[in-house]
Amino acid sequence: MSDAAVAKREGWTLAALLREHKSAVIVSLIALTVAFFLLFFRWHFRQMGPSGFSVRYPEDWGHAYLVPIISAAFAWKYRAAILGTPLTRFWPGLAMLCGGIVIYSFFLFGFPNHMFQGLATLVALAGVVLFVGGPKFLGLLAFPIAYLALGVTISDQVMNGLTFQLKIMASQASAVTLSILGVDNTVAGNMLTIFTRSGEEIPLNVAEACSGMRMVIAFIALAVAVAFFGLRHWWQRIAVICLAVPVALGMNVARVVVLAIASMYDPELARGEAHTLIGTLLLVPSFFLFMGVVWILGRIVKDDKPEHAGASA
């Protein structure tokens, strides 16, 4: 677009720009997207490339592939409000973009840290949106941008600190559940020892068997998606999201119990790919559990008022 067209577009909506300058706007958006991706290519490649974290640790971070799709779906749901909001050039957004680039560069070259590189990428993305569209436009896209953070790999130090107590709880709950089922066992920290009827002792590292409770991030991502797509009131959404950690804990306890019982028949079943397969299968009942809660909460409150795009996002 010419300088005059650019100046004229101040206060225009994205829908109006698409009507008047459709080709130019589409080309500009594609160019901006490609430039942004190339600028932060290193992080995207290490996260989702052929040898990235999401490929090497699919059980922990495989959900990162779905996060951008869900984020885009959030934006699409309120596309009417997004397309109808006047665009205002907001120069502080440029400072935010530059700040994100500086932070990214520091954690890339100065103090390498993949997690902070990802978060800096989101700061830069928010800066682009703020600069191009203004505060109100960023407000509409703030949630989809924030949701992308659930696809950023968390460093082991942070994750271990956050999930340590969950590991202990999973160990204790697994031991109690096995005792109820008649399986003789003892637990010490994260180590669960199974005693077979023949007197054989089978050690099972709960921290490894439940993947250090790292699936809690995937459950939170699932809960947020289900809550914001299936519910309209904030208290309902918060209730579903708060269930993410208990459900993750419960599913991991079930996982450890299944692995413990399986190991009594064949110790090899508790090693290798077996725990990965069991953990993946348990995502299915957890999803339906969330959907069941959404169904119940959706019927507690009857709201006949029509939903306005963007009003409850």
pLDDT digits (tens), the chain, 313 positions:
444 444 445 568 888 888 888 898 899 899 999 999 999 999 999 999 888 888 887 767 888 899 999 999 999 999 999 999 999 989 999 999 999 999 999 999 999 999 999 999 999 999 999 999 999 999 999 999 999 999 998 887 777 777 777 778 888 888 899 899 888 888 887 778 888 777 778 777 665 555 545 677 888 888 898 888 878 888 888 888 888 888 878 877 887 888 788 777 776 665 556 666 666 676 677 778 777 877 887 777 665 554 444 444 4
Same-domain check for residues 97 and 224: no
Same-domain check for residues 165 and 295: yes
Count CA atoms within 13 Å of residue 266 on its CB side. Answer: 5
Q: CA angle, 15 as apex, 9 and 17 as ends, to 5°?
A: 30
How far apart, in Å, do the first and last CA atoms of the chain sit? 32
Q: Which residues of 99-118 are buried (b: 16+ CB within 10 A; e: fewer)?
A: ebbebbeebbeeeeebbbbb
Q: Determine the pLDDT at residue 268.
A: 64
Q: Determine the pLDDT at residue 142.
A: 95
Domain that holds residue 72: 3-153
Same-domain check for residues 205 and 289: yes
- The CA–CA distances, whole Å, from 258 to 164, 263, 265 equal 22, 9, 11
54 alpha carbon, distance to own chain's centre: 12
CA 313 – CA 309 distance, rounded (Å): 8
Place of tokens 């439940």: 210
Domain count, the chain: 2
Domain boundary among 97, 132, 153: 153
DSSP string, 27-84: HHHHHHHHHHHHHTHHHHHHHHSTTSHHHH-HHHHGGGGTHHHHHHHHHHHTHHHHHH
**247 close to 286: Cβ distance less than 8 angstroms:** yes
Same-domain check for residues 49 and 108: yes
Q: Determine the pLDDT at residue 311.
A: 41
Same-domain check for residues 162 and 288: yes
Same-domain check for residues 147 and 162: no
**135 close to 185: Cβ distance less than 8 angstroms:** no
Helices and strands, counts by H and E, the chain: 18, 3
In a domain, 312, yes or no: no
In a domain, 117, yes or no: yes
CA 226 – CA 131 distance, rounded (Å): 31
Same-domain check for residues 131 and 195: no
Domain boundary among 100, 119, 153: 153
Q: Which of 127, 124, 143, 125 is nearest to 135 (CA)?
A: 127
Q: Determine the pLDDT at residue 310.
A: 43
Q: Determine the pLDDT at residue 92.
A: 94
Question: Could you tell me the two tokens for 63?
Answer: 């959900």
In a domain, 17, yes or no: yes
Same-domain check for residues 112 and 237: no
Same-domain check for residues 133 and 55: yes
Q: Determine the pLDDT at residue 60.
A: 73
**Sign of torsion, CA 166 172 174 180?**
negative
Q: Determine the pLDDT at residue 14.
A: 87
Q: Determine the pLDDT at residue 211.
A: 53
Same-domain check for residues 38 and 123: yes
Domain boundary among 135, 153, 171: 153
CA 61 – CA 176 distance, rounded (Å): 30
In a domain, 76, yes or no: yes
3-state SS class at 108:
helix
**19 close to 90: Cβ distance less than 8 angstroms:** no
Same-domain check for residues 290 and 166: yes
